[in-house]
Amino acid sequence: MKSQSIQTKIDIYAFEELSDDIKSLINSAKAAVLTSYSPYSEFKVGAAVLLENGMIFSASNQENVAFPSGLCAERVAMFYANAQQPQTPVTAIAIAALTKGDFLQTPISPCGACRQVLLETETRFGNFIDIYLFGNKEIFHIKGVQQLLPLCFAHF
């Protein structure tokens, strides 16, 4: 038998340490939580996608009583950006979550379905996506979706 270890590299930042472009992206994700339709979970998530041309598309999670008919903020934002700018590569995504009137202290990460959609976008454009996960206490930066989705299902 052989054993292999898989590691994920996460850089941890304070908000003040980030570039102005990334601060703006995170602020767009934070603002997007206000458009969340989440009456069942009361867990509001916002995501903002940065394209290579500098455009930002943001969206929020949208729930439905016929679970699982709703969609996560990450997929709504990514699909919206790809529908509006289908030839423009995505360079980064920021994700923020709010519950009980405040943003989470530590970041949340995308669900498996969202990770797969992000991976497809990376594959589609042939570039890594920088992922910024916002928490009041710290911000995680992950370089590339495969760091979040090891042993991923991808077609190359």
Give the catalytic positions in this structure.
Answer: 74
DSSP type of residue 146: G
Please name the residues in contact with 73: beta carbons below 8 A apart, sequence gap of 6 or more.
29, 32, 33, 36, 45, 46, 47, 59, 60, 61, 95
Instruction: Check residue 91 and give left, alpha or beta (phi > 0: left; psi -120 to 50: alpha).
Output: alpha
- Using an 8 Å Cβ cutoff, are 121 and 83 in contact? no
End-to-end Cα distance, the chain: 29
| Main-chain dihedrals φ then ψ at residue 12, nearest 5 degrees | -115, 125
Ranges of H-type helices in the chain: 20-32, 73-84, 112-125
